[in-house]
Every structure is written in C-alpha cells, then in structure tokens.
C-alpha cells in the first residue's frame, strides 16, 4: 500500500485551505480505533474531514459521511467537548519537510488559536494529538508512555514536542545542477535508492514517478547515466519543487498506486486519496473476512457431513428390519424343522422359493429365536423413525450452508465497495444464525450502510436480469422485488442464487432470453463447473418460504425445467460487467 508522503500531504493541505477555510467545527465521529471524522461547515458546503493514524494508511482528506453506528470512543468525545463552537482557521505544517500538520481552531479567523489538533502521518508512528493554548497535551489518539519510547513519550498533561527532525539535506530550488548531481552520485548505486537517501521529503513512490517522467529506469546505476538522463531528471526535480512552491498539482492513478504530480484524469487530490485508501483497506478487510468465513463454513460443513454419514449408516442397518421380520415369519412357519443346538437353519423363501439361511442362538429354542428376530425388527423400525428426521435436518442445514458457500464463491476478488458490503451481509447472516460469534467480528453495519444491489444484466431481448449475491438479496428479489409479470429461476435441487427475469406487462420472453437466464443461473450455482445444469423457472407467486425456514430457503411449484449451460454464462459474466 502506497503511504502518504510529504508531497501528497502538501497537495491535500493546499486543497483544504482553498476550499474549506474557515470552517465551523460541528461534530466528531470516530469510525474505528484508527480513524476520526470531523464535520465541517462553510458558507457554501458541509463535509467530513477524515483524519487517520492507521499504520499503513495514515492520511487526511475530505470523504463521505460516516455510518450511523454509535460512537463509543473517548478520543472523539474529547474533540467534541473541546472544539465545540469553534472554527478551523488554519492548516499548517509544523516544520519544513515534515509530515505533521497543525489544524488550528479559534472562535473566528484572525484570532489566536485556542486548540491545536496535530496530525502526524509517519507510518507506524502516526498519531492525532489535541493540544491547548499552553502547549499541553489534552488527549491523543494513541498515548505513548516513557517505557514505550524514551525519545518522545506522548501522554496527557505533558508538553507537546515536535517529532525529531531529520538530518538529511532539504531539497531547494536554489541548489544548482552540479551540486545536486554530485550529492546523488557520491556513492554509485541505483538512482531510485540514491535519490531517497540523499534528501529528506522524498518517498519511493515519488521517486519512481519522477524517474518515469524522466524516462529513466528506476534501477539505472548512477555511474552509468548519461548527461542527457541527468539533465532530464534534474528538470523533473525542479518541476517537483516548483509545483510544491506554487501548490500546483496534477493527481492521477498509476499502475502501482497514484501520483499528485504527473497524473491524468483526476481533478481532486482528496477524491483520489479517499478512493485509493478506501479500496486498499476494503481489500484487506475483504480478504481477511473471506478467509474467516470460508474456514468456518468448511469446519461446520465437515462436521455435518460426518454426522450425515453416521445417520445414513444407521439407516442402512435399519433396512434389515424387514429381513428380520421375514426370517422370524419363516422360523415360526417351520418350527418342526428346528432341532436343539442348531446354530443356523436353512429355509425356503415364501415368495421366491430361494433358500434363506437364518442364524440361531443355540441356547434358545425356535420360538425364542423368532421372538428375538421380531424384537430386532421393531428396534430397527424405531431407529429408522428416529433417524430419518435427524438426517433430513442435517441435510437441510448442509444445503443452506452450501447455498452460502456458493454465494461466497462469486467473491473471488475485491472490485467495488459493494463486494465487501455483500460479504459483510453474509457474515451478519451467519452471526444471526449462530454459526459465527458476533463478538469476533466488527459490529454489523446499519441497514442503510449495508444495502447492496444484486448483479444486473440485460438479456438479448432487452429485459432486465437480477441475480442475488447472498441470501438477503435472494429473499429481497423473490418476495419483495418480483412482480406477477416476472419469472423466477433457480437451479433444480442445487444450491445457487435466486434469479429474476423482469418482464413488463404483456411482454413474453422468447427461448433466447430463457436460455440466457438459465445459463447465468447455472453459472451462479454450485454446479458452475458442469456442462449442463437443470434450471427450474416459474412465476414468483408459486414460490413460497416455509415457516421458520432459514434465509434464502424456498419451495416452489408449477415449475418448468430448462437446461442451463454454466460455461456460456461464465463467458458472458466475465466479458460483461454487471450493470450498476
């Protein structure tokens, strides 16, 4: 993940000063233990300033409003208490070439600052610190005791000290070409490494974008560079320093991250930063959550399959109930053939006439042996009556979890925030159903924040096609979205998504549309690797939810069957992104 460097921070501050100063402080909301948002209002607009001290994603920028979850963090409570009624009047770096910003709050512009909120963006040492007029620390996002750091402890009541100054030379426009070149080329090495080591305020990402703009390979050795390459690099160096001085930036995404100097296509540094870190952090959460859910599902399904095998084995043994009764009947009909001490007897079957060998207890007579067989018959019958509903419950639970497993298989990678939200909905469902402990995971988001949309496609005939991404969406499509004119699709007795073909009144879907829908329904099912999959479709009014059934579980009637081809559905899904 690309860290916010000095140049990016200065670009963000320049935009904030031009668009959001002065701004009245209205609210503070702490999203998590690394991020707090400040609600600011100017004469023209209202927005939320994100301040983050995340070890890998420390940053500052305007962003979307936070969720409506309760805020229980003491840091944000202190901010609300101390900054209430004040205005943000200045955004200044605490010292040259340092990634630490002083947000100054006063009653009105032009008056002395009453409070300073220092945002230190320094990787794992990032922090947010509230300081009063006497330069005393009132609260900090992350307090550091003297045992943790003898260089710079950060605790309430202590005076605020600036971060330790770096001793590297500072970049300067006044430095001429020869001195600049000699400093970088003093020790031969790769140009990208030598640049970072020679001056303060540079990051690896900035240097990479700089050498790329100069058309130089990043690992080009300094003692092998031509005069023309040095000159082009110096021009890019000068361009960087002039852009900082004039606060003129050109943001844009790159193949490995972003740049604020040589970019294209982005008009706002803050929007770019917000999008980049949102996606990067979502990707981390998505990958971790997907792994946790997958591991839990595998464990539960493994236990259920073992339990089902045990029940099926006991049912197989209970199949001998009729055999025991038949043997008892044969024995009672041929009591005269029994002799004391017999360990078995061979009799002819009533219907087939085939010989049947009946094992006997030599210590019992024929009647007692027959009674034992009758008792065995009754016991096996009771076993079957008890086991069958237990096996049915296990099979239903397995089918439900396999439905979820199928839905998760669609999330092979993170692409949009909706992917994470849909996966969180699955997580919340598993917590609600008791398969996951809610305390192990972040509190479920509110309904407003977790609303996601199903996959949307267009059929060859131009009809809208909706595919559920999880059980919540499946129920939503089937029982709330569907109208009497639509058609409902699902793989036959195979876990998969609910699919809804939207039809207008009087419209009729032709065979091409039905086959297209069946192909996508087959692809979004557990049988997506098969060549052909039976898909049922019917009118939504013929789809019912059994009382007390788990999410996504339905029964249907008056269905028709069409064979879906999941590989064709896969080709279409890959080549055509769903309509947003």
pLDDT of 339 reads 86
Residues 300 and 402 in one domain: yes
Structure-token pair, residue 255: 């193949």
H or E element in which residue 285 lies:
helix 269-318
DSSP 443-478: PPPPHHHH----EEEE-TTS-EEEE-SSHHHHHHII
Q: Pairing state of beta strands 100-106 and 115-120?
A: antiparallel
Cα of 10 vs its chain's centroid, Å: 31
In a domain? residue 131 = yes
Range of the domain at 417: 289-451
| Count of residues in the chain | 580
Q: Is there a domain that residue 410 lies in?
A: yes
Give residue 513's pLDDT: 94
How far apart are alpha carbons 303 and 300 in whole angstroms?
5
Contact predicate 12/58, CB 8 Å: no
For residue 494, the 8-state DSSP code is S
Long-range contacts, stretch 330-339, CB < 8 angstroms, 24+ apart: 330/356, 330/358, 331/358, 331/366, 331/369, 331/370, 331/373, 332/366, 332/367, 332/370, 335/366, 335/367, 338/365, 338/366
- Determine the pLDDT at residue 48: 97
- Please choose, from the candidates 21, 35, 23, the residue with its C-alpha nearest in 3D space to the C-alpha of residue 66: 35
pLDDT for residue 149: 77
- 312 within domain boundaries: yes
**Using CA atoms, how far apart are residues 303 and 299, in angstroms rounded to an integer?**
6
Does one domain contain both 310 and 444? Answer: yes
**CA dihedral defined by 555, 559, 398, 453, rounded to 10 degrees?**
-80
Q: Are both 333 and 197 inside the same structural domain?
A: no
Contact 551, 431 (CB under 8 A): no
| Contacts made by residues 284-293, CB under 8 angstroms, sequence distance 24+ | 285/420, 286/411, 286/414, 286/419, 286/420, 286/423, 287/414, 289/420, 289/423, 289/424, 289/427, 289/441, 290/408, 290/411, 290/423, 292/441, 293/408, 293/423, 293/426, 293/427, 293/430, 293/436
502 in a structural domain: yes
Q: Angle 180-186-189 (CA atoms, 0-180°, nearest 5)?
A: 105
- In 3D space, the residue among 419, 109, 477 whose CA is nearest the CA of residue 289 turns out to be 419
Give the end of a domain, one of 116, 140, 164.
140
**pLDDT, tens digit (0-9, with 9 covering 90-100), for 95-128:** 989 999 999 999 999 999 999 999 999 999 999 9
Residue 11 domain-assigned (yes or no)? yes
Whole-number Å distance between alpha carbons of 134 and 160: 9
Whole-angstrom Cα distance, residue 121 to residue 6?
Answer: 9
Beta-strand ranges (E) seen in 341-421 are 344-348, 355-359
Q: Do 245 and 357 lie in a common domain? A: no
442 and 310 together in one domain = yes
The pair of three-digit structure tokens given for residue 22, joined into one six-digit string: 């002065």
Rounded Cα gap, residues 57 and 123, in angstroms: 8
For residue 411, how many other CB atoms are within 10 A of its CB?
20
Residues 307 and 388 in one domain: yes
Q: What is the CATH number of the domain that holds 189?
A: 1.10.8.50
> In the prediction, which pLDDT does 447 show?
36
pLDDT of residue 439: 54
The helix (run of H) or strand (run of E) holding residue 279 is helix 269-318
Over the chain (580 residues), the average pLDDT of each successive run of 10 is 95 96 96 94 95 95 90 94 96 93 95 96 94 95 84 90 86 94 93 92 93 93 94 96 95 92 90 94 92 93 93 76 80 87 87 86 88 83 82 90 89 85 90 79 42 87 93 93 94 94 91 95 93 95 90 92 93 70
Are 188 and 172 in contact by the 8 Å Cβ rule? The answer is no
295-325 tens-digit pLDDT: 999 999 999 999 999 888 877 776 666 777 8
| CATH number of the domain encompassing residue 447 | 1.10.287
Q: Are residues 230 and 253 in the same domain?
A: yes
Q: What's the domain count of the chain?
A: 4
Structural domain includes residue 299: yes
pLDDT in tens, 354-384: 888 888 988 889 899 888 888 878 887 777 7
Q: Which of 87, 115, 140 is the last residue of a domain?
A: 140
Residue 256 domain-assigned?
yes
How many helices (H) and strands (E) the chain has is answered by 14, 21
Is 114 in contact with 107 (CB distance < 8 Å)?
A: yes
User: Which pLDDT value is given to residue 35?
Assistant: 95
- pLDDT of 51 reads 97
CATH number for 78? 2.30.310.10
By three-state DSSP, how is residue 115 classified? strand
């Amino acid at each position: 993940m690309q860290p916010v460097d000095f140049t990016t921070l200065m670009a963000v501050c320049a935009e904030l000063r031009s668009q959001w100063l002065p701004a009245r402080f209205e609210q503070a909301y702490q999203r998590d233990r690394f991020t707090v948002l400040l609600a600011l209002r100017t004469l023209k607009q209202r927005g939320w300033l994100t301040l983050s001290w995340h070890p890998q994603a420390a940053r500052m920028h305007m962003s979307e409003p936070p969720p409506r979850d309760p805020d229980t963090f003491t840091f944000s409570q202190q901010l609300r208490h101390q900054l209430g009624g004040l205005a943000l009047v200045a955004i200044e770096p605490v010292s040259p070439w340092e990634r630490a910003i002083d947000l100054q709050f006063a009653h009105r512009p032009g008056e002395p600052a009453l409070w300073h909120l220092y945002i230190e963006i320094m990787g794992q040492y990032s922090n947010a610190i509230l300081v009063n007029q006497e330069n005393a620390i009132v609260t900090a996002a992350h307090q550091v005791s003297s045992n943790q750091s003898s260089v710079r402890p950060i605790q309430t009541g202590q005076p605020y000290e600036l971060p330790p100054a770096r001793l590297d030379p500072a970049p300067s426009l006044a430095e001429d070409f020869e001195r600049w070149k000699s400093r970088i080329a003093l020790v031969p090495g790769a140009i990208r490494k030598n640049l970072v080591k020679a001056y303060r305020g540079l990051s690896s990402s900035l240097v990479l974008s700089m050498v790329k703009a100069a058309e130089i390979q990043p690992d080009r050795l300094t003692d092998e560079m031509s005069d023309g390459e040095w000159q082009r690099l110096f021009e890019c160096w000068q361009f960087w320093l002039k852009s900082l001085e004039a606060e003129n930036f050109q943001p844009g995404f790159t193949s490995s991250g972003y740049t604020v100097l040589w970019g294209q296509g982005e008009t706002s540094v803050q929007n770019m930063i917000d999008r980049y870190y949102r996606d990067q952090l979502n990707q981390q959460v998505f990958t971790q959550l997907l792994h946790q859910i997958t591991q839990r599902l595998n464990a539960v399904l493994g236990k259920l399959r073992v339990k089902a095998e045990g029940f099926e084995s006991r049912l197989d043994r209970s199949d001998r109930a009729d055999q025991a009764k038949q043997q008892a009947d044969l024995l009672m009909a041929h009591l005269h053939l029994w002799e004391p001490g017999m360990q078995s007897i061979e009799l002819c079957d009533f219907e087939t006439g085939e010989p049947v060998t009946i094992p006997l207890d030599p210590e019992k007579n024929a009647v007692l042996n027959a009674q034992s067989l009758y008792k065995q018959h009754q016991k096996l019958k009771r076993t079957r009556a008890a086991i069958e509903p237990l096996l049915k419950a296990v099979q239903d639970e397995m089918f439900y979890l396999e439905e979820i497993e199928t839905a998760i298989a669609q999330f092979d990678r993170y692409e949009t925030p909706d992917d994470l939200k849909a996966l969180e909905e699955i997580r919340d469902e598993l917590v609600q159903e008791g398969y996951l402990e809610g305390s192990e995971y972040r509190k479920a988001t509110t309904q407003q924040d977790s609303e996601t949309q199903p996959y949307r496609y267009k059929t060859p005939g131009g009809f809208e096609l909706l595919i559920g991404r999880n059980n919540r969406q499946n129920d939503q499509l089937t029982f709330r979205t569907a109208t009497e004119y639509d058609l409902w699709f699902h793989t036959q007795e195979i876990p998969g998504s609910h699919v809804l073909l939207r039809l207008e009144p009087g419209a009729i879907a032709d065979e091409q549309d039905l086959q297209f829908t069946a192909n996508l329904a087959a692809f979004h099912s557990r049988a997506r690797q098969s060549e052909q999959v039976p898909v049922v479709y019917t009118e939504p009014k013929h789809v019912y939810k059994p009382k007390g059934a788990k999410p996504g579980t339905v029964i249907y009637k008056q269905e028709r069957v069409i064979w879906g081809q999941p590989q064709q559905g896969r080709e279409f899904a890959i080549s055509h992104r769903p309509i947003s």
